[in-house]
Amino acid sequence: MAPNPAPTALWPAPHASEAVDATVHVPGSKSVTNRALVLAALASEPGWLRRPLRSRDTLLMAAALREMGVGIEEGVGPDGTGETWRVLPAGLRGPATVDVGNAGTVMRFLPPVAALADGPIRFDGDPRSYERPLNGVIDALRVLGARIDDDGRGALPLTVHGGGALDGGPVEIDASSSSQFVSALLLSGPRFNQGVEVRHTGSALPSMPHIRMTVDMLRSVGAQVDTPESGGEPNVWRVTPGALLGRDLTIEPDLSNAQPFLAAALVTGGRIVVPDWPARTTQPGDRLREIFTEMGGSCELTEYGLVFTASGAIHGIDVDLGEVGELTPGIAAVAALADSPSTLRGVAHLRLHETDRLAALTKEINELGGDVTETADGLHIRPRRLHGGIFHTYEDHRMATAGAIIGLAVEGVRIENVATTAKTLPDFPELWTGMLGA
């Protein structure tokens, strides 16, 4: 966690004087949009993404692919409706420079794509991107035949010297620090000469739903993938070499970004409707239906979407969030307002996310009068009466939305740099005030 930046821009978090009752149209999923962009770029024919998320992380992904020669055009879908990106795959080429910002999906998913390009591709990003682990991807790509120049730390910045093709084959990695290492190798795997066999050898692998999302999306564009769940060995994924289809894909709403709005219903005793909540999805945010029900709400999933209704009470929870780590900041915020203590476990890897999220949540909730302690792999949260103050966000979009949740219930919370929500939800302040009817 970086030291507190000077709190130049402070956003007075709206305080809710009554229960929220609103319908919130949540923009598209970051994780689905960025996988769809990579798969469309690697396909053998054009494809369409409908209702893609347009946020910092996805615009960086699109810009990087364009840099490598891929055509991504603004347009309307094949049936003439909806905002769409048309992706025109082309021979990938360098020299090119990729700005990853602080997007885990860009810094992990694109080096394997760059290894397929013809020419050098330089990767650089925000200062925090230098601290986020990338060793699993770098080491694996070298084993699979790539040439990479880095400074030996297993992190950015680096240059991938693409040779136009990559051998591929079997590789062992320790992905306990990020599931994105596995997803990265699988996504480009169909284009490696021998495909790829990824064997995870480390301790617990986080964020399994995101790996399932990768596998599902690969299969939907025609790739053959064998997984532990389809009868393969535990911790081993195999992708067969082959051409990928161009698809017409509508991007689901981002269920992790639906979290602050559902939390708003919980903490104000209100009701939120999220249209187009998918009936079946690999997104980890779908677990919110279960988690926020245990914390005091109830869910009705209809053809229109999700109707989430609070009971008025907020209960603490004891839960392993290892599969759904990105939900931790929002759950911690609700837990700080609950009627009983909470224990959030299985999320040690959050120390290497946008910021050290365990340290940041502890410090910021405690500075508002809370009682949070860090454990080896999570947080203990004992609810206390909170007071207003500055909620620092450490350039972490989910810290900003966590602070906004607390601000609904606690007067005088001011959020530093709410604009950092642009990483995945540029419209957050407007959606939030819109939800409150302001």
Ligand X SMILES: O=C(O)C1=C[C@@H](OP(=O)(O)O)[C@@H](O)[C@H](O)C1
Ligand Y SMILES: C=C(OP(=O)(O)O)C(=O)O
Binding site for ligand Y (CB under 6 A): 103-105, 326, 353-354, 398, 424
| Parallel, antiparallel or unpaired: strands 10-12 and 158-163 | unpaired
Binding flag, residue 89, ligand X (CB under 6 A): no
103 binds, among ligand Y, ligand X, none (CB under 5 to 8 A by kind): ligand Y
Q: In angstroms, rounded to a whole number, what is the distance separating the alpha carbons of residues 3 and 432?
A: 28
Nearest to 190 by CA among 162, 144, 225: 225
Q: In angstroms, rounded to a whole number, what is the distance separating the alpha carbons of residues 146 and 346?
A: 33
Asked if residue 397 belongs to a known ligand binding site, the reply is no
Binding flag, residue 420, ligand X (CB under 6 A): no
CA distances from 58 to 100, 197, 252, 413 (A): 10, 27, 14, 30
210 binds, among ligand X, ligand Y, none (CB under 5 to 8 A by kind): ligand X
Q: In angstroms, rounded to a whole number, what is the distance separating the alpha carbons of residues 107 and 123?
A: 8
179 binds, among ligand Y, ligand X, none (CB under 5 to 8 A by kind): ligand X
Asked if residue 363 belongs to a known ligand binding site, the reply is no
**Based on CB atoms, which residue is closest to ligand Y, 53 or 310?**
53
398 binds, among ligand X, ligand Y, none (CB under 5 to 8 A by kind): ligand Y
Residue type, 41: A
Q: Which of 51, 86, 122, 210 binds ligand X (CB under 6 A)?
A: 210
Q: Catalytic residue at 300?
A: no
| The one segment of 177-185, 271-279, 286-294, 313-321 that binds ligand X by CB under 6 A | 177-185
84 binds, among ligand Y, ligand X, none (CB under 5 to 8 A by kind): none
**Based on CB atoms, which residue is closest to ligand X, 183 or 417?**
183
Binding flag, residue 253, ligand X (CB under 6 A): no
**Based on CB atoms, which residue is closest to ligand X, 31 or 102?**
31
Q: In angstroms, rounded to a whole number, what is the distance separating the alpha carbons of residues 319 and 321?
A: 6
Binding flag, residue 55, ligand X (CB under 6 A): no
Q: Which of 51, 200, 238, 349 binds ligand X (CB under 6 A)?
A: 349
Structure-block tokens of residue 57? 């992380």
Binding flag, residue 183, ligand X (CB under 6 A): yes
- Cis geometry, peptide bond prior to residue 95 (ω within 30 degrees of 0): yes
Asked if residue 230 belongs to a known ligand binding site, the reply is no
Least distance from ligand Y to the Cβ atom of residue 312, Å: 29
Asked if residue 108 belongs to a known ligand binding site, the reply is no
| Parallel, antiparallel or unpaired: strands 413-416 and 389-391 | parallel
Asked if residue 172 belongs to a known ligand binding site, the reply is no
Among 67, 197, 323, 326, the one annotated catalytic: 326
**Based on CB atoms, which residue is closest to ligand Y, 192 or 428?**
428
CB 317 within 8 A of CB 294: yes
Partner residues linked to 47 by β-bridges: 87
Please list, residue by residue across 351-376, b when 16 or more beta carbons sit within 10 angstroms of its beta carbon and e when fewer do: bbbbbbbbebbbbbbeebebebebee
Phi, psi of 391 (to 5 degrees): -105, 105
- Listed in sequence order, the residues at least 6 apart from 431 whose beta carbon sits closer than 8 Å to its beta carbon are 24, 26, 261, 425
Q: What number of chain residues touch ligand X (CB under 6 A)?
A: 13
**Based on CB atoms, which residue is closest to ligand Y, 186 or 273?**
186
Asked if residue 342 belongs to a known ligand binding site, the reply is no
Asked if residue 283 belongs to a known ligand binding site, the reply is no
Least distance from ligand Y to the Cβ atom of residue 408, Å: 21
Binding flag, residue 209, ligand X (CB under 6 A): no
Asked if residue 207 belongs to a known ligand binding site, the reply is yes
Count of C-beta atoms within a 10 Å radius of residue 21: 14
Nearest to 39 by CA among 61, 6, 54, 15: 61
**Based on CB atoms, which residue is closest to ligand Y, 122 or 353?**
353
CB 12 within 8 A of CB 436: no
- Listed in sequence order, the residues at least 6 apart from 113 whose beta carbon sits closer than 8 Å to its beta carbon are 38, 41, 42, 65, 68, 92, 187, 188
**Based on CB atoms, which residue is closest to ligand X, 111 or 325?**
325
Least distance from ligand X to the Cβ atom of residue 216, Å: 12
Asked if residue 298 belongs to a known ligand binding site, the reply is no
Q: In angstroms, rounded to a whole number, what is the distance separating the alpha carbons of residues 90 and 193?
A: 18
| The one segment of 4-12, 115-123, 137-145, 174-182 that binds ligand X by CB under 6 A | 174-182
> In the sheet that 21-23 helps form, which strands lie side by side, from edge to edge?
21-23, 271-275, 305-310, 297-301
Residues at the binding site for phosphoenolpyruvate are 30, 104, 132, 180, 357, 398, 423
Residues at the binding site are 30-31, 35, 104, 132, 178-180, 207, 326, 353, 357, 398, 423
Residues at the binding site for 3-phosphoshikimate are 30-31, 35, 178-180, 207, 326, 353
Residues labelled as active-site residues = 326
Sites of contact with ligand X (CB under 6 A): 31, 104-105, 178-180, 183, 206-207, 210, 325-326, 349
